[in-house]
Structure 1
């Protein structure tokens, strides 16, 4: 852990100070803070609908978070490359803490949504953490460290779901956000104590104003996707936002390609390995990443619909935690495979597992006893594949662009996660089963979703197979 590595400017990073385990603890706590972002919001969402029954804007707590995360992940990663990962990581977690405080103190939906939007800056924690470990660890240990970050995110999400639920049940919905404040404060203290400062970087002149033009364009497109259910595919507002956003993105990309010091280095997307990794992440986000939404609904749907298991919210939370905990094995294992055989092979293994696991659920989902091992296999494959994709980006980009490249990967994740959520909702809505006056997805709807995700995993597998076998960096 005391190893020193050369930064892109030729300066040596300062060695990790304090106890050798301190740096690892700090990075893991940062991963916990990152996973608490959307998890806490999901946990308190049902309670928020009850607390603000007259408002239709409660769902914007989730929408605002995803819109902001798509922007902040790329910007935070790039600023980390330019100004130092530790410095920007501390800033990002501090701002996320402030956002959680605003949400906890909210007296109305508007203030609540604003607090959730500010919290979305936590999306930058993962790319900054990966940049920090790459800066301070030898290359041989890097894939395993990335796997540890991924595992910590998935497992802590399950724990946070349960803990935040207990806080909300015994206190109030505000307690969920105060719980997140506590997690972020602990992470900030740990990073400040045990993460070494980044080496000095020479100043560069960047046109921040035009460099940030992608943000409103991306938000316009994602907002349009989120509004498909409300507006419908024939609404002119929908296509105006999408077309307008794409035009602005095109103009922004043209400017960034010509800029000597771009805010976001679009040239990275000219690299075959980076393009394929991002495209594979897009299929993963639109498909297998929908695991939480699909499994939670299937677990709690009344058994009388002949398409659900009728579990309580608490039991469903425990089930989801049990499913996610396999990431403790899958992510580090994926890192070890990447260390020995390169990330390409780890990604191939993960995508094969995903395709087979989701296809098996077409039959296994009718029995809880059979569904659980199938779902565990889905979670295992997801952790294995997602860790491998982050390691693939690390392998194929220079060290001084780690934050930017992994941040861009998260942007693809955020965008296509929103698209995938709409696709899953449309497939589930295509068939309905009534129960006690309420409408739930029919069994055929779940079969369609499992088939759709299996096919998206196969598409990702095809893209991974096109990756070159050699390591670029």
Structure 2
């Protein structure tokens, strides 16, 4: 491993702005096309199932890229790999903006999804180049951008799609990606924390097969049938290949995912809590807009437009961004574990409140905002709790797995919500719609997942000394020198 020191940033505030902007832009890609799905069905004269791959492709690409590119960043330089991920976003946006056939649009969305790895890479860079006392707060802000960007994507796309052609959405995303790329080039210094070594191509292929099989089965289970041979076969393939992959990864010196470190209780429980939080948070983003758009004839719907539905999540997005630094300050005094647990309690309270206040626009927005504030705490401080148990040279890969857990939680959430809405329906003049009880069920499940995350977090031991700085070597030839300043 090369020297663990890094070139300190000459402009730490501009560095943080560049990192946060890049994080928001890449997170926006995850929900960018959700309001466009009906338009794309008409534009390409195709089916809902075909168009839904525009969402699924980005999800799978992001899930695969986060641990893989995180590991590549640890080995060969996080700044360089981040620039490559942002180039992929720009290229994917350009391809999507110029596409005239659905397969090209899906390829473009796949390239956009790869950029999700920017967040774990950014956390690794911040850990390398900032003073220790600023790492936790800055990493927390970087992590929170995922929630902010995902929530901003829907109203932003809705506004653009109303006044312009759908191609304009991808021209916009390409422009944002290019600005993020230029900001990283200008203000993010190169780091010298590099493991080097040989890239684990076999392990990467195995991980890709596992994630693709699992996520396709989860995202398509409601449409194809959970007991259909295809879905069961995908789950079986994910399980069998996963067992073989795990066996292989524990027997090579430089695996794509360091499973021995991931088995550490602090790391394992932090990742499990992240998965549960990902599920709970995504309910807020997924159903709030749809709830206010339901027709009044349902007896509970408010009949608002797509734009109003999207804007309902804007206060939650803004409060997440505002409360992230507050959460970091509390974590600096009370520790990240206490801060995470406080946020989880607030999320559960917000969802329980929504069980009784989901019939009026103002109270719906208030409930969604309370959940957003609560989400800011675990999203911004779980990385700090995780990094207390992770060696510096594994920062990128470890945070990549953590982001992966969040994506898996969101994918499972989408499948569960689809199953609930599909099983609890009512007839309207425009077809079928979920019953009010279906929405209440999803809020109750989200509260349960927040409580489950709270229970999982309880056994995690905090290291009051802060982020681990002198790790034990994890691979032959690796060293664990402290970062020089």
The TM-score, its normalising length taken from structure 1, stands at 0.94
**What are the equivalent positions in structure 2 for 1:206-245 lying under 5 Å apart?**
206-245=199-238
1:20 to partner: Cα distance:
4.3
Given that residues 150 and 383 in structure 1 are in contact (C-alpha distance below 8 angstroms), is that contact kept between their aligned partners in structure 2? Answer: no
Q: Distance in 2 between matches of 1:340 and 1:421?
A: 36
Secondary structure of the structure 1 residue equivalent to 2:33: helix
1:157 to partner: Cα distance:
4.5
Pairwise CA RMSD: 1.8
Secondary structure of the structure 1 residue equivalent to 2:100: coil
1:156 to partner: Cα distance:
4.5
Aligned twin of 1:371: 364
Aligned twin of 1:52: 44
Aligned twin of 1:352: 345
Q: Aligned pairs, how many? A: 465
Deviation string 1:247-304 (CA, Å, 9 cap, x unpaired) is 1111111111111111221112210001101111121222332211111111111122
Aligned twin of 2:16: 24
Query: Does structure 1 residue 291 correspond to structure 2 residue 261?
Result: no
Q: Assess, with a 3 A threshold, how the Cα gap between structure 1 residues 114 and 132 changes in structure 2: closer, same or farther.
A: same
**What are the equivalent positions in structure 2 for 1:134-283 lying under 5 Å apart?**
134-199=127-192, 201=194, 203-283=196-276
1:127 to partner: Cα distance:
0.2
Q: Higher mean Cα deviation, 402-411 or 46-55? A: 46-55
Aligned twin of 1:468: 461
Aligned twin of 1:42: 34
Secondary structure of the structure 2 residue equivalent to 1:439: strand
Given that residues 74 and 195 in structure 2 are in contact (C-alpha distance below 8 angstroms), is that contact kept between their aligned partners in structure 1? Answer: no
Given that residues 307 and 441 in structure 1 are in contact (C-alpha distance below 8 angstroms), is that contact kept between their aligned partners in structure 2? Answer: no
Q: Higher mean Cα deviation, 157-166 or 399-408? A: 157-166
Structure 1 runs, 4 residues or longer, greater than 4 Å off: 156-160
Gaps of 5+ in 1: 1-7
Q: Distance in 1 between matches of 2:410 and 2:440?
A: 20
1:354 to partner: Cα distance:
1.1
Of 52, 65, 90, the match for 2:83? 90
Of 418, 440, 455, the match for 1:425? 418
Given that residues 31 and 154 in structure 2 are in contact (C-alpha distance below 8 angstroms), is that contact kept between their aligned partners in structure 1? Answer: yes
Deviation string 1:407-447 (CA, Å, 9 cap, x unpaired) is 00111122232112111122222322332232111111112
Secondary structure of the structure 2 residue equivalent to 1:57: helix
Secondary structure of the structure 2 residue equivalent to 1:180: helix
Q: Distance in 1 between matches of 2:430 and 2:17?
A: 50
Q: Higher mean Cα deviation, 115-124 or 285-294? A: 285-294
Q: Distance in 2 between matches of 1:34 and 1:340?
A: 31
Q: Distance in 1 between matches of 2:451 and 2:155?
A: 33
Deviation string 1:389-424 (CA, Å, 9 cap, x unpaired) is 222112221121111111001111222321121111
Secondary structure of the structure 2 residue equivalent to 1:212: helix
**What are the equivalent positions in structure 2 for 1:372-411 lying under 5 Å apart?**
372-411=365-404
1:449 to partner: Cα distance:
1.1
Q: Distance in 1 between matches of 2:153 and 2:200?
A: 39
Gaps of 5+ in 2: 469-485
Q: Distance in 2 between matches of 1:106 and 1:452?
A: 39
Given that residues 283 and 459 in structure 1 are in contact (C-alpha distance below 8 angstroms), is that contact kept between their aligned partners in structure 2? Answer: yes
Q: Distance in 2 between matches of 1:156 and 1:421?
A: 18
Aligned twin of 1:3: none
1:77 to partner: Cα distance:
0.8
The TM-score, its normalising length taken from structure 2, stands at 0.91
Of 311, 315, 319, the match for 2:308? 315
Given that residues 390 and 406 in structure 1 are in contact (C-alpha distance below 8 angstroms), is that contact kept between their aligned partners in structure 2? Answer: yes
Deviation string 1:75-110 (CA, Å, 9 cap, x unpaired) is 111111111111111011001111111111111011
Q: Distance in 2 between matches of 1:148 and 1:211?
A: 29
1:215 to partner: Cα distance:
0.4
